[in-house]
Amino acid sequence: MEAIALVPIVEAAVLAPSVENTQPWRFALHPGEAKTASIDLFADRSRLLSVADPSGRELHISCGAAIEFARVAGRGLGLDCRVELLPDPADEDHLARLVFEGEELPTATDLSLAQALPHRYTERGPFEDRVVPDGLVERLRQCVLPFEAWLKVLEPGADQTTAAVLLGMADEIASAWESYEAEAALWRRSEPGQTDGLPAYLEERKLAGRASSFKLRGSHSSGPQSGLEEAPPPAEHPLVAVIGTPGDEPYYWLQAGRALGRLLVTAAAQGVSASPMTQILEIEPTRALLTRELRLVGRPQVLLRMGYAHGEPSAPRRPIEEVLIDAPDVPQAS
Ligand SMILES: Cc1cc2nc3c(=O)[nH]c(=O)nc-3n(C[C@H](O)[C@H](O)[C@H](O)COP(=O)(O)O)c2cc1C
């Protein structure tokens, strides 16, 4: 039996979305044949947003998305992968072990998801004036269930209005919170050639007030704001949805990230892109209000808008050598 090539799987994993493009992950490879080959995923806490994300919730969500991207890439190569979350109780940074257990020909769905990985990206501009069809919405609802997560779709009307108002409120609170703004500024990149954070050209795509009712992180400082003299916003009918979990601890944060990863790839395979709008969940008063007003059960983890757009993946990634570490001495799966 041949040794499994693990580097292409990590190359797919790092295509996952991460909060502020922090890419807070490290990987240790344990090459081998099927059943012995594995990848350990560790948190890189030097990349934690200690003001916006002091508990590391969004760091875990980002890493959870990377786990699912690795799993989808593995299935595309015909590899089955068992995921063990938090396998080492003595090391809270050891977030997951992915054990490549066996080989089975990929299905058409496996292939289409794997092919979508490099095309998925965060769309910060407006969406086209067309709705995500009901059949796909139902598939998105179903695809998060294996991760113990739920997807609540916010109906146009009262629920979407509540979310839009609370997003505006979160943005106002953030803009007056100096250390929060200072931390966000650390991840804004103005020089070319940067491999993490948010380059200026992406910030410019961010919605200003007049492009959509749904404000994105930092949009108060990145463009014209709506005013009575301006033309009305272009028509946009995004799907707005919340991913949530029953609990609020590292295990569920990772599950939320895996659900997010799966949902984004499922959508991307159908030409639908998304943007998370998570500021609302980082700021406690707006998180509590969203939970109460939308009658959510459990912990909302990610708020998203989704729709059709024509953008290209363009957030940079760190070179793979920077995220690979020497395999520490951890017990291997038998
Ligand atoms: C947990 C999490 C929270 C995020 N929050 C936001 C957000 O509030 N606003 C936003 O525009 N993008 C948000 N993003 C998207 C990231 O900025 C994006 O994934 C990153 O810049 C990499 O770009 P890409 O998704 O196009 O590959 C978030 C992503 C994750 C995983």
State mean pLDDT over 125-154. Answer: 96
Question: Where would I find the H helices in 207-273?
Answer: 250-268
Tens digit of each residue's pLDDT (9 = 90 or more) over 44-69: 999 999 999 999 999 999 999 999 99
Could you tell me if the CB of 147 is within 6 A of ligand 1? Answer: no
278 lines ligand 1 (CB under 6 A): yes
Average pLDDT, the chain: 91
Q: Are strands 188-189 and 198-199 parallel, antiparallel or unpaired?
A: parallel
Q: Give the pLDDT confidence score for residue 334 in this predicted structure.
A: 42
The yes-or-no verdict on residue 81 having pLDDT over 70 is yes
Phi, psi of 221 (to 5 degrees): -110, 10
Examine the pLDDT at 143 and tell me if it is beyond 70: yes
Q: 12, exposed or middle or buried, with CB in 10 Å at 0-12, 13-18, 19+?
A: buried
Q: Number of H helices and number of E strands within the chain?
A: 11, 11
Check whether 103 has a pLDDT greater than 90: no
pLDDT digits (tens, 9 = 90+) for 246-277: 999 999 999 999 999 999 999 999 999 999 99
Residue with tokens 């939320």, as numbered in its chain: 256
CB of 205 closer than 6 angstroms to any ligand 1 atom: no
Q: Which of 68-82, 86-100, 177-191, 199-213 has the lowest mean pLDDT?
A: 199-213
pLDDT-based confidence at residue 312 (cuts at 50, 70, 90) = confident
Our answer on whether the CB atom of 60 is closer than 6 Å to any ligand 1 atom is: no
Q: Which of 14, 15, 18, 120 to mutate to test the pocket of ligand 1 (most atoms within 8 A of CB)?
A: 18
Q: Which residue has the tokens 């922090």?
A: 22
**Distance of alpha carbon 17 from alpha carbon 122, whole angstroms:** 8
- CB of residue 124 inside a 6 A radius of ligand 1: yes
- The pTM score is 0.93
Residue 49 near residue 61 (C-beta atoms within 8 A)? no
- Cβ(39)–Cβ(11) under 8 Å? no
Confidence of residue 282 (pLDDT cuts 50, 70, 90): very high
Q: Give the domains, in start order, of the chain with CATH numbers.
A: 7-119 (3.40.109.10), 134-308 (3.40.109.10)
Per-residue model confidence (pLDDT) at position 206: 67
